[in-house]
């Protein structure tokens, strides 16, 4: 590849002029034709600035890393698209990492920025990283923003409006006439799970419905865990007629469990899921979901990170736009008539 000095030589100028022309330095005044010669030389030699040279000089890599737990969830695509889009708009490159590698004692994060490979991180924690471990890990490092989760001891996060989302899901069941509504939620240690449960509780409260501890399960979001949760919910008496599953992938597992038990959906049991993704259209029955602005979380997260990197104090933001949207499909219906 061509280097700056080759451009300069070809254009008959010094490297510094070439550099400034190519970077569009605003406070540079040149004769139009010098400028043109440089531009032409760059085009002729098909010049692209060497990344390492620039990074070394500027002490910035213009790269960010997105660290996420599970790349096998289709949900992840939205977040990634948003982040990629926003990063590219600012001429940043995005690296993907897996957060199951990020354990309490690991220095993966520190190493990546220590090496200068990336300027900062978007970190979506995995559920088995405790608040304490997380805080130790990220300390008050302004080069990190937490995605979808927050932790008390630390600023710099962007999350969904989980209470609004879970509330909308619950209200949907309420509006169909359900009075016995269960929740298949995340693990209790997760702030995300707690917010979603709060939304659920809020909707029940406003509908004057009793919230029964026997109808809530907190095993986690995986299809397997949610399936187990659903099975145990079905063993309660009386059992719920509708359930909100706090994650689509879990809802898919829950549907499987119901099928195994021979329970008709939505005839005997309604299921509404938090989050929407393409698979939800193809389950049986197709899942009624609440679509959350996950893409926008990605966008906002890189914007937050970039502004932290340029010195602004870390903020905790919650993305409310677009608002949670109920995508009505076929897994929900009025409850069966009381015998």
Partner DNA sequence: TTGAAAGCGCTAACAG
Partner DNA sequence: CTGTTAGCGCTTTCAA
Interacting residues toward its own copies by CB under 8 A: 1, 46, 48-53, 55-56, 59, 61, 63, 70-74, 76-77, 80-81, 84, 93-96, 98, 110-111, 114-117, 223, 252-253, 255-256, 259, 277-279, 281-284, 286
CA distances, 36 to each of 49, 50, 331 (Å): 18, 21, 64
Residue (of 288, 301, 290) closest to 323 by Cα position: 290
CA distances, 244 to each of 184, 254, 288 (Å): 6, 10, 10
For residue 206, what are the contacts with CB-CB under 8 A and spacing of at least 6?
none
Residues in 33-72 that interact with DNA by CB under 7 A? 34-35, 49-50, 52-54, 56-59
Nearer to DNA, 31 or 338 (CB): 31
CB of 24 to DNA, least distance (A): 10
Residues in 11-30 that interact with DNA by CB under 7 A? 12-17, 19-20, 22-23, 25, 28-30
Binds 14, which of its own copies, DNA, none (CB < 5 to 8 A, cut-off by type)?
A: DNA
Which DSSP symbol is given to 337? P
CB of 223 to its own copies, least distance (A): 6
CA–CA separation, 147 and 229 (whole Å): 26
Q: Does 4 bind DNA (CB under 7 A)?
A: yes
User: Do 111 and 328 contact (CB within 8 A), yes or no?
Assistant: no
Cα distance between the two ends of the chain:
79
Residue 118 neighbours by CB distance under 10 Å: 22
Nearer to DNA, 37 or 291 (CB): 37
Nearer to DNA, 52 or 235 (CB): 52
Report helix angle 191-206 to 162-175, nearest 10. Answer: 40
Binds 279, which of DNA, its own copies, none (CB < 5 to 8 A, cut-off by type)?
A: its own copies
Q: Does 90 bind DNA (CB under 7 A)?
A: no
List residues binding DNA (CB under 7 A). 3-5, 12-17, 19-20, 22-23, 25, 28-31, 34-35, 49-50, 52-54, 56-59
């Amino acid at each position: 590849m061509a280097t700056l000095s080759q451009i300069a030589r070809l254009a008959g100028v010094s490297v510094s002029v070439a550099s400034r022309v190519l970077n569009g330095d605003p406070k540079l005044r040149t004769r139009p034709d010098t400028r043109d010669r440089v531009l032409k030389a760059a085009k002729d030699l098909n010049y692209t600035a060497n990344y390492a040279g620039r990074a070394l000089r500027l002490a910035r890599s213009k790269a960010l890393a997105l660290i996420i737990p599970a790349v096998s969830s289709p949900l992840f695509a939205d977040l990634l698209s948003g982040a990629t889009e926003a990063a590219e708009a600012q001429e940043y490159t995005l690296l993907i990492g897996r957060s199951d590698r990020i354990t309490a004692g690991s220095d993966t994060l520190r190493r990546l920025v220590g090496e200068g490979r990336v300027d900062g991180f978007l970190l979506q924690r995995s559920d088995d990283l405790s608040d304490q471990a997380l805080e130790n890990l990220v300390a008050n490092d302004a080069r990190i923003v937490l995605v979808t989760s927050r932790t008390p001891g630390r600023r710099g996060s962007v999350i969904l409006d989980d209470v609004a989302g879970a509330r909308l899901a619950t209200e949907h069941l309420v509006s169909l006439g359900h009075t016995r509504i269960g929740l298949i939620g995340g693990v209790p240690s997760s702030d995300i799970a707690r917010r979603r449960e709060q939304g659920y509780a809020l909707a029940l409260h406003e509908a004057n419905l009793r919230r029964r501890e026997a109808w809530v399960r907190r095993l986690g979001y995986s299809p397997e865990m949610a399936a187990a949760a659903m099975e145990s919910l079905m063993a309660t008496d009386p059992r719920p007629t509708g359930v909100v599953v706090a994650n689509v992938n879990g809802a898919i597992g829950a549907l499987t469990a119901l099928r195994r038990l021979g329970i008709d959906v939505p005839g005997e049991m309604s299921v509404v899921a938090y989050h929407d993704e393409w698979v939800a259209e193809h389950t049986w029955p197709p899942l009624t979901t609440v679509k959350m602005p996950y893409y926008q979380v990605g966008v906002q997260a890189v914007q937050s990170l970039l502004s932290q990197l340029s010195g602004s104090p870390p903020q905790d933001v919650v993305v409310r736009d677009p608002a949670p949207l109920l995508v009505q499909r076929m897994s929900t219906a009025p409850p069966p008539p009381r015998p």
